[in-house]
A and B are shown apart, each in its own frame.
Chain A
Amino acid sequence: MLLITCPWCGPRNETEYRYGGQAHVPYPDSPADLSDEQWAEYVFYRDNPKGPFAERWMHSIGCRRWFNVLRDTATHEVLTSYRPDEPRPGGNR
């Protein structure tokens, strides 16, 4: 059971949350101009690193807000969590 800190509600059990996959995936600026390859990237391809990973979680049975978590996928250690309008701590990857 992971212990994850909601930026608004504080530390809660993993079972209070819903997982949302990779964070910081921007919606394409001009969708109509994307090639099929670029659409495939946007829709189907996500990073899958072994190590620190910035990912989205939603506090589904609490405040129901989305936020981001930096977690090590090899050790399952939750490194930090932050609001969606904040940049990824420590820069990219």
Chain B
Amino acid sequence: MTAEPLPEHPDFLWRNPDPKRSYDVVVVGAGGHGLATAYYLAKNHGITDVAVLEKGWLAGGNMARNTTIIRSNYLWDESAAIYEHALKLWERLPEELDYDFLFSQRGVLNLAHTLQDVREGVRRVGANRLNGVDAEWLEPDEVAKVCPILNVSPRTRYPVLGATFQPRAGIAKHDHVAWALARRADELGVDLIQGCEVTGFLKDGDRVVGVETNRGRIHAGRVGLAAAGHSSVLAERAGIRLPVQSHPLQALVSELHEPVHPTVVMSNHVHVYVSQAHKGELVMGAGVDAYNGYGQRGSFHVIEQQMAAAVELFPVFARAHVLRTWGGIVDVTPDASPVIGRTPVENLYVNCGWGTGGFKATPAAGWTFAHTIATGEPHPLNAPFALDRFTTGALIDEHGAAAVAH
């Protein structure tokens, strides 16, 4: 926990080319996942004739709205594998991309407040260790040592009965991650095209051969969707349905404070999660608004509830002020696990359904999606996350199992 100065912004990180008439691969959406996909298409597969089309500005969606929590302590084997792959990539990306995006492995505590939470947490620690994910079970006094400002007294409404701890988890500066990936993808020849909205798909029978955009038709050998909250809107234009529902998810920050919070704390039961950014603001998030929505804003009572939970856990926060709140649109699947794979339309691939927790997966989403697009076959890490699991019933049910799904 240091107040190290932020890196200077370089002048220009990528070109802003006009779209060409045709590309080998078109990726829709320049959030973290679209950018990572383009980067790994170029780096791992030598496919550089790639455009990333973004209707707004680069990383203007969930990528720069999330609360930046990175961890891999998921319950199920399939999840642990892909999120741990992501965490290992995070550990080397700052050097590989030559960009210090303030990846800080300060650990994450997932608190238990009920006997059920305790059993679930102890079980998850066991599962994590079997999968090579660093995890420990901490008793309340040990929790207090990791995070002294946390109230672990037995006299609170929902006493802390213990916590899982993943020391290698942490946070990163999300906009810098996007810029780091964008700069390197651009250097490798990828065209990043902002202000370019995909409005339809060009098809030849059952095969996609390009996209319609507000900047004209762009032909493509293959098309990959990485549109997060708008995935089903796009898929519908391609004539397919996705098993996702779009919800507003809100977050907020306080004004700047001295470093007081050394780790990341998440509580499923009282439903709040908190870290402190490098600059000093307390960063807090909670659950989605219950209803479907595309408005990039949610209801105030959700914020009120998360603040009540935060002040209960961290009495010291009672004097802090909310500086800014915002919302993003997250696409949630029935089993709270993503979809990465083929679609019923040939040459159209989809990466969606990351819901409230896809930032931490950014490098692995890009790695596996690039592999799937480049080879036409899923990578072993994303094979279980295919669309057909909703037909076969082989769900990867991380609802509840994943502690809090962020």
Contact partner, B293, options A39, A44, A76, Cβ 8 Å:
A76
Across the interface, do B294 and A15 meet the contact criterion of CB distance under 8 Å? no
Q: How many angstroms from the CA of A4 to the CA of B390 in the assembled complex? A: 33
> Number of residues in B with C-beta < 8 Å to the partner?
25
> Which residues of B are found within 8 Å of A76, using beta-carbon distances?
293, 295, 297
> Number of residues in A with C-beta < 8 Å to the partner?
26
Across the interface, do B291 and A36 meet the contact criterion of CB distance under 8 Å? no
On whether A2 and B391 interact (CB within 8 A), knowing A21-B245, A48-B246, the answer reads no
Q: How many angstroms from the CA of A93 to the CA of B12 in the assembled complex? A: 45
- A46-83 CB mask vs B (1 if < 8 Å, else 0) is 10111001010000000000000001011110000000
Across the interface, do A37 and B391 meet the contact criterion of CB distance under 8 Å? yes
Q: How many angstroms from the CA of A1 to the CA of B295 in the assembled complex? A: 13
B9 at the interface (CB under 8 A from A): no
On whether A44 and B245 interact (CB within 8 A), knowing A14-B299, A15-B301, the answer reads no
A40 at the interface (CB under 8 A from B): yes
On whether A74 and B294 interact (CB within 8 A), knowing A21-B245, A48-B244, the answer reads yes
> Which residues of B are found within 8 Å of A27, using beta-carbon distances?
none
Closest residue on chain B to residue A13 by CB atoms: B301
> Which residues of B are found within 8 Å of A74, using beta-carbon distances?
294-295
Minimal beta-carbon separation of B70 from chain A (angstroms): 28
Closest residue on chain B to residue A4 by CB atoms: B291
Across the interface, do A73 and B301 meet the contact criterion of CB distance under 8 Å? no
- A19-55 CB mask vs B (1 if < 8 Å, else 0) is 1010000000000000011011101111011100101
Within 8 A of A (CB), among B228-263: 230, 232-233, 241-246
> Which residues of B are found within 8 Å of A45, using beta-carbon distances?
241-243, 390
> Which residues of A are found within 8 Å of B214, using beta-carbon distances?
none
- B261-293 CB mask vs A (1 if < 8 Å, else 0) is 000000000000000000000000000001111
| A interface, over-half SS | mixed
- B359-401 CB mask vs A (1 if < 8 Å, else 0) is 0000000000000000000000000000000111100000000
Closest residue on chain B to residue A46 by CB atoms: B245
Closest residue on chain B to residue A76 by CB atoms: B295
> Which residues of B are found within 8 Å of A1, using beta-carbon distances?
299-301
A18 at the interface (CB under 8 A from B): yes
Closest residue on chain B to residue A2 by CB atoms: B299
Across the interface, do B291 and A44 meet the contact criterion of CB distance under 8 Å? no
Closest residue on chain A to residue B230 by CB atoms: A50
Within 8 A of A (CB), among B322-350: 331, 334
> Which residues of A are found within 8 Å of B295, using beta-carbon distances?
73-76
On whether A48 and B301 interact (CB within 8 A), knowing A74-B294, A74-B295, the answer reads no
Across the interface, do B391 and A48 meet the contact criterion of CB distance under 8 Å? no
Across the interface, do B301 and A55 meet the contact criterion of CB distance under 8 Å? no
Across the interface, do A48 and B290 meet the contact criterion of CB distance under 8 Å? no
Minimal beta-carbon separation of B392 from chain A (angstroms): 7
CB<8 Å pairs between A and B, sample of 25: A1-B300, A1-B301, A2-B291, A14-B299, A14-B301, A19-B290, A21-B245, A36-B393, A43-B334, A44-B390, A45-B241, A46-B243, A48-B232, A48-B245, A48-B246, A48-B331, A49-B233, A50-B246, A50-B294, A55-B292, A73-B291, A73-B295, A74-B294, A74-B295, A76-B295
Q: A residues within 8 Å of B by Cβ?
A: 1-2, 14-15, 18-19, 21, 36-37, 39-41, 43-46, 48-50, 53, 55, 71, 73-76
Q: B residues within 8 Å of A by Cβ?
A: 230, 232-233, 241-246, 290-295, 297, 299-301, 331, 334, 390-393
With A45-B243, A48-B244 known, 17 other A-B pairs at CB within 8 A are: A1-B300, A1-B301, A19-B290, A36-B391, A36-B393, A37-B391, A40-B243, A44-B390, A45-B242, A46-B245, A48-B246, A48-B292, A48-B331, A55-B292, A73-B246, A73-B294, A73-B295
Minimum-distance CB pairs A-B, first 4 = A19-B290, A48-B232, A40-B391, A44-B390
